[in-house]
Chains A and B, each alone.
Chain A
Amino acid sequence: MAKYILQRVVMIFISLFIIVSATFFMMKAIPGDPLTSERSVSEEIEQQLRAYYGLDEPLFIQYVKYLKSVATWDFGPSMKYKAQTVNDIINDGFPVSALLGLEALFLAIGMGIILGVIAAMFHNKVPDYISMILAVIGMSVPNFLLAALFQYYFSLKLGILPTAGWGDSFEQTILPAFALAALPTAVIARLTRSNMLEVLQQDYMKTAKAKGLSRLVSTFKHALRNALLPVITYLGPLIAGVVTGGFVVEKIFGIPGLGMQFVTSINNRDYPLIMGTTVFYSIILLVMVLIVDLLYGVIDPRIKVSGKGKGGE
């Protein structure tokens, strides 16, 4: 077990190295640089700025320097937000995004699994149709539209929840969390439903019934655990996605999270920020995937993680 985790951690570092390198060179391959959009400055000043940021050095030297600083967890100064380093931006934004993301995640897992189980238990009956219509809506309606609708109905019409803002009260987090949870809820509901339907047909469900267990007990005790494995596969990337922020939702609700930094940094050609957010997201994603792989072993005893062979398959 320890050996397996160690192997995976080494793999994570190798993956990170590749991601950092690829992002670095792709970013440099885009024409223009952070200074392109500045108002026309004199040749001299531009030269000085380039020298300050190290942009005048050969590409390879820049790359090696960057690798060194990333290795010490220093992403450098932001080129756009002069007063802040990239580390500051991540440190400020991530807790906000993570809190919102976790809230959305709990909503998505809870509602998704319940909807999926109900749909499977009442296969091809009204509750099934209702759940699946909700799931289709969750999957197909973009979250900015949902966010706007939520704001319109719950804030303007009913006036029960604040429209936007962050950090003053828990109520402020409710609408964005629901808006952010819509898509994952729908995906989890559909995954749970299809897996439950398959599991409910299994022979061991008949055994459970033959023991005299009620439908509810056999569904939750025997079926759900077997049906959740594929859902857990989906959770890894999902968690990484939601805790690092939903760009649109954060923008609409005026939340100072990490999500918007992803997008604006690219428009601004803010090299250090692009690199910083990408590396940060990659780390979270890789760690989550590792945790999910370890969770498999807990949920399904047939899957044993070991240091032998390729991974834990």
Chain B
Amino acid sequence: MGKLLEVNDLEVSFKVHGGEVKAVRGVKFHVNKGETIGIVGESGCGKSVTAQTIMRLIPQPPARIKNGSIMFNGEDLLKKTEREMQKVRGKEIGMIFQDPMTSLNPTMTVGAQIMEPLIKHQNLSRKEATKRAVEMLDLVGMPNPEKRIKQYPHQFSGGMRQRAMIAIALACDPSLLIADEPTTALDVTIQAQILNVMKDLQKRLNTSIIMITHDLGVVAEVCDRVVVMYAGKVVEEGTVQEIFKNPQHPYTKGLLKSVPSLDQDKDKPLVPIYGTPPDLFSPPPGCAFCDRCDYAMNICNKQDADKYHVSDTQYARCWLLDPVAQEVRSK
């Protein structure tokens, strides 16, 4: 399996009144062809900014890409001109957003919105594009697609709108689909349907997916590998099995512990991660998690840990994995 996308040392800052917020601080991960990776982390950890930077959708200014490269099919997306990026967006990389209620244009028919990228990127005639739009809606499991393409978004339910969004994103058969919290705004049964549609389409079209979410249930459901982000950095990466069975970073452990389970005693309190993430206005010099970490050591405050590989596929940025910290770990 070759690498489709490789994000290297990406740094993104936002210029705000009186300084800059370092939203993404050296993120590195890759996506293989045909696989699904999950990017998880709490609000404000930089997952969405990373995703939108790949598509170069973040407004510059106030955002500024300070460092790094995003290699997609061997080309650096950050070096492309806006015009070149227009040929990547929608054609090579599709994107789904969080809120399907606001992501579709209310004054255009759903069909026209699906046809737009087809006409733009594949030079289809209106007739061919209409045919393809019907096919796409059928593919995402929409009943009566011929009737549906003539309708407006307000005539669709939330789940149906998200299906339409998937149809738009996949219309031109992109090799990568970025889904930015695609199920967050939907209720649970619809979430499961949407995830099934995505999994199904991935198998058929062999698309790679970057699934951005804070829902570990979604990750377990669809992802092959997981990237855990915290305060603008990747703190742990591994396969789904490794992350769920053998988490290494205390933050990952905390996330997993905070998920309530069905068979849990109902009187047992939930286990939160106490505290708040650091202010990215002036990020701490050491590990960003150390203020909230039960296992914090002296060094954690001063210096951020390097990558410690646990296996070929799993690594974490935590001093606890250093051989010197064996003693603390065994406690």
Residues of A in contact with B (beta carbons under 8 Å apart): 202-204, 206-214, 222, 225-226, 299-302
Contacts and interface: CB of A to CB of B under 8 A. Distances in A.
B307 interface: no
B70 to A, nearest CB: 15
Contacts of B105: 204, 207-208, 222, 226
B103 A204 contact: yes
Contacts of A202: 102
DSSP class of B's interface residues: helix, strand, loop or mixed?
mixed
B66 interface: no
Given A211-B90, A211-B168, A212-B91, A204 B121 contact: no
A25 B165 CA distance: 61
A92 B329 CA distance: 97
Interface stretch (B93-101, B197-205, B215-223): B93-101
A6 to B, nearest CB: 26
A297 to B, nearest CB: 12
Most chain B CB within 10 A, of A204, A206, A208, A212, is at A212
Nearest to B112: A221
Contacts of B102: 202-204
B94 A225 contact: no
Contacts of A210: 55, 57, 89-90, 94-95, 97, 169
A285 B160 CA distance: 42
B88 interface: yes
B116 A226 contact: no
Contacts of A299: 107
A209 to B, nearest CB: 6
B99 A206 contact: no
A211 B57 CA distance: 11
B87 A226 contact: no
Nearest to B118: A211
B154 A301 contact: yes
B41 interface: no
24 contacts: A203-B103, A204-B105, A206-B97, A207-B97, A207-B168, A208-B105, A208-B116, A209-B57, A210-B55, A210-B89, A210-B94, A210-B95, A211-B120, A212-B87, A212-B88, A212-B89, A212-B117, A212-B121, A213-B120, A214-B83, A214-B86, A299-B107, A302-B106, A302-B152
A212 B95 CA distance: 11
B16 interface: no
Most chain B CB within 10 A, of A203, A299, A302, is at A203
A140 to B, nearest CB: 31
B108 interface: yes
Interface string B95-138: 10101001111111000010011001100000000000000000
Given A207-B105, A208-B105, A213 B86 contact: yes
B75 to A, nearest CB: 16
Given A203-B102, A210-B89, A226-B105, 6 more contacts: A206-B103, A207-B165, A213-B86, A299-B107, A301-B154, A302-B152
Contacts of A214: 83, 86
A209 B59 CA distance: 11
A222 B55 CA distance: 20
Interface string B165-200: 100110000000000000000000000000000000
B108 A222 contact: yes
